[in-house]
């Protein structure tokens, strides 16, 4: 039974950077067009609608400003005050990006004073935190390289330096690293020497392909790494792109030091699509969708063709089409040709069809079991969920006596079973 609290806590932390200084449904078929029309209606709605404004409408206001910070009026519709706008931008983790974009366009002063103040306060804090974390990250990456560990920086930590106007505006709570499985132990040793600790979390050969590490420095700033040795914890997606393949498409990431590398834009877009569909199905979080938009907008026609070919060959066609449709619907990304081409292929037997509708841990487990090659592997996965290591049990529940361990295993199953059938709402 996986423990998601660490990951959820980091996502929450990532919404508003904090520092304590020492002195100081996937979109398919007709639903894609329906969503597109819904977004357009929200963007074109008069400034004084009679009905209360929905969350999706406020998100559309934010998305419109990100896409076109000069056009349109910043006057808020009836029922949307500055506090609601700030809350929506923060919830979607784009408050800093929105404020920066408006300021760069010369239109920030036209927005409500409360919004300007909230942005400026958040930015001052975020810049301090980002500077401290940047120095730590550069040092850690150099230490990995010195130890002979090959790591690829990807997802938000890489995109912050390659696809955003300033790294602090791409909100993130940790640094995602991809490493070959055989070098995970060496990487852990380096992190241990640097003062990082790993929280109690389940582990095994199949139950998880990632681990987390964190430390709090003398300023009270948290530094965290999310280490992956496969691209997804979902068995259906885990091997669609391998470390070796991504390593061969690495490019320098000079902003993080001479030893830092990330992946090229083609594969970065594919990974972003896999991440959104596999780990956050149904989400309309603007930060993740903006990542897709930022990546796709940099690609040449030839690179977009490569995305189409790789997605089709690896069974990622439907997943890629749906993610790109989100970028189109929310940020006007001109990707209709590739979406049409991916959907024109029709369903294939090897297509990765991730969950639609309410998502429960039980449904995810069923998906994982179906993707495994044989009953031996399926049995192992079930066993790793039901019977995590004694090390985990001791750390998680503070158990010291061997005699008490069986009771805690039973108690864990009884208490945890209802959670497996509880729907997880998409993150918006």
* Residue 318 and residue 280 in contact, taking contact as beta carbons nearer than 8 Å: no
- Share the mean pLDDT of the chain: 87
Looking at the fold, whether 143 and 284 belong to one and the same domain comes out as yes
CA pair distance 202, 385, nearest whole angstrom: 8
Residues composing the chain = 428
CA pair distance 264, 363, nearest whole angstrom: 33
pLDDT at 126: 98
Looking at the fold, whether 170 and 312 belong to one and the same domain comes out as yes
CA pair distance 164, 227, nearest whole angstrom: 23
pLDDT at 293: 97
Query: What sign does the CA torsion over 25, 362, 350, 348 have?
Result: negative
Better-predicted residue by pLDDT, 258 or 31 = 258
Looking at the fold, whether 42 and 67 belong to one and the same domain comes out as yes
Does residue 12 fall inside a structural domain? no
pLDDT at 21: 38
Determine the average pLDDT of the residues in 215-244.
96
CA dihedral 168, 228, 208, 224 (to 10 degrees): -40
Strands 151-154 and 175-179: antiparallel
Looking at the fold, whether 118 and 137 belong to one and the same domain comes out as no
Looking at the fold, whether 325 and 206 belong to one and the same domain comes out as yes
pLDDT at 351: 76
Least confident of 78-87, 331-340, 389-398, 409-418: 78-87
Domain ends where: 89, 107, 124?
124
How do residues 175-192 score in pLDDT, each as one tens digit? 999 999 999 999 999 999
Q: Residue 359 — very low, low, confident or very high, per pLDDT cuts 50/70/90?
A: confident
pLDDT at 28: 41
Does residue 13 fall inside a structural domain? no
Print the domain residue range for 411: 361-421
Domain ends where: 314, 344, 374?
344
Looking at the fold, whether 196 and 294 belong to one and the same domain comes out as yes
CA pair distance 405, 393, nearest whole angstrom: 8
Looking at the fold, whether 141 and 222 belong to one and the same domain comes out as yes
Does residue 196 fall inside a structural domain? yes
CA pair distance 289, 283, nearest whole angstrom: 9
CA pair distance 245, 256, nearest whole angstrom: 22
Residue 152 bridge partners (DSSP): 178
Kindly provide the b/e burial profile for residues 189-220, where b requires at least 16 CB atoms within 10 angstroms of the residue's own CB: ebbeebebebebbbbbebbbbbbbbbeeeeee
Domain ends where: 286, 314, 344?
344
Q: Residue 25 — very low, low, confident or very high, per pLDDT cuts 50/70/90?
A: very low
CA dihedral 78, 100, 95, 57 (to 10 degrees): 40
Does residue 22 fall inside a structural domain? no
Kindly report the CATH number assigned to the domain that includes residue 240: 3.30.460.40
Total domain count for the chain? 3
Looking at the fold, whether 322 and 383 belong to one and the same domain comes out as no
Does residue 235 fall inside a structural domain? yes
Looking at the fold, whether 314 and 377 belong to one and the same domain comes out as no
H helices within 113-264, ranges in order? 113-146, 156-162, 184-193, 243-248
Does residue 6 fall inside a structural domain? no
Task: Tell me the percentage of the chain whose pLDDT exceeds 70.
Answer: 84
State the pTM of this model: 0.85
Q: Residue 353 — very low, low, confident or very high, per pLDDT cuts 50/70/90?
A: confident
Looking at the fold, whether 162 and 290 belong to one and the same domain comes out as yes
CA pair distance 280, 427, nearest whole angstrom: 7
Does residue 5 fall inside a structural domain? no
How do residues 260-302 score in pLDDT, each as one tens digit? 999 999 999 999 999 999 888 888 999 999 999 999 999 999 9
Does residue 60 fall inside a structural domain? yes
Tokens 């192992």 identify what position? 380
CA 339 to chain centre: 22
Looking at the fold, whether 180 and 267 belong to one and the same domain comes out as yes
Query: What sign does the CA torsion over 46, 47, 51, 54 have?
Result: positive
How do residues 107-160 score in pLDDT, each as one tens digit? 999 999 999 999 999 999 999 999 999 999 999 999 999 999 999 999 999 999
Looking at the fold, whether 146 and 259 belong to one and the same domain comes out as yes
Residue 20 bridge partners (DSSP): none
């Amino acid at each position: 039974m996986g423990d998601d609290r660490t990951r959820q806590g980091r996502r929450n932390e990532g919404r508003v950077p904090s520092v304590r200084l020492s002195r100081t449904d996937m979109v398919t078929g007709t639903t894609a067009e329906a969503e597109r029309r819904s977004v357009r209606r929200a963007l074109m709605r008069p400034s004084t609608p009679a009905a209360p404004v929905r969350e999706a409408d406020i998100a559309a206001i934010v998305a419109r400003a990100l896409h076109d910070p000069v056009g349109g009026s910043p006057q808020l519709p009836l029922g949307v005050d500055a506090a609601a706008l700030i809350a929506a931008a923060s919830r979607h983790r784009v408050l800093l990006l929105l404020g920066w974009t408006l300021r760069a366009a010369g239109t920030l002063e036209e927005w409500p004073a409360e919004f300007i103040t909230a942005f400026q306060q958040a930015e001052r804090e975020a810049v301090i935190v980002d500077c401290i974390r940047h120095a730590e990250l550069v040092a850690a990456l150099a230490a990995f390289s010195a130890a002979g560990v090959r790591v690829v920086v990807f997802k938000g930590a890489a995109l912050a330096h390659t696809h955003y106007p300033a790294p602090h505006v791409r909100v993130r709570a940790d640094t995602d690293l991809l490493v070959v499985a055989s070098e995970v132990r060496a990487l852990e040793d380096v992190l241990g020497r640097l003062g990082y600790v790993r929280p109690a979390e389940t582990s095994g050969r199949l139950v998880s392909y990632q681990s987390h590490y964190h430390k709090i420095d003398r300023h009270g700033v948290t530094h965290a790494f999310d280490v992956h040795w496969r691209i997804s914890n979902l068995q259906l997606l885990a091997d669609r792109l391998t470390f070796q393949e991504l390593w061969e498409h690495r490019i320098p990431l000079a902003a993080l030091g001479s030893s830092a590398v990330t992946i090229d834009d083609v594969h970065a877009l594919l990974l972003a699509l896999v991440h959104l569909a596999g780990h956050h199905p149904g989400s309309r979080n603007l930060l993740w969708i903006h990542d897709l938009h930022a990546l796709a907008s940099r690609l040449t026609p030839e690179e977009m063709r490569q995305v189409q070919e790789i997605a089709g060959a690896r069974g990622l066609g439907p997943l890629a089409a749906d993610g790109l449709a989100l970028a189109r619907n929310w940020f006007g990304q001109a990707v209709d040709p590739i979406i049409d081409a991916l959907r024109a292929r029709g369903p294939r037997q090897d297509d990765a069809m991730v969950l639609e509708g309410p998502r429960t841990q039980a449904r995810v487990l069923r998906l994982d079991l179906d993707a495994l090659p044989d009953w031996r592997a399926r049995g192992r996965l079930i066993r790793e969920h039901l019977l995590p290591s004694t090390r985990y049990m001791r750390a998680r529940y503070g158990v010291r006596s061997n005699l008490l361990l069986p009771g805690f295993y039973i108690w864990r199953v009884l208490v945890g079973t209802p959670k497996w059938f509880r729907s997880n709402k998409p993150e918006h």
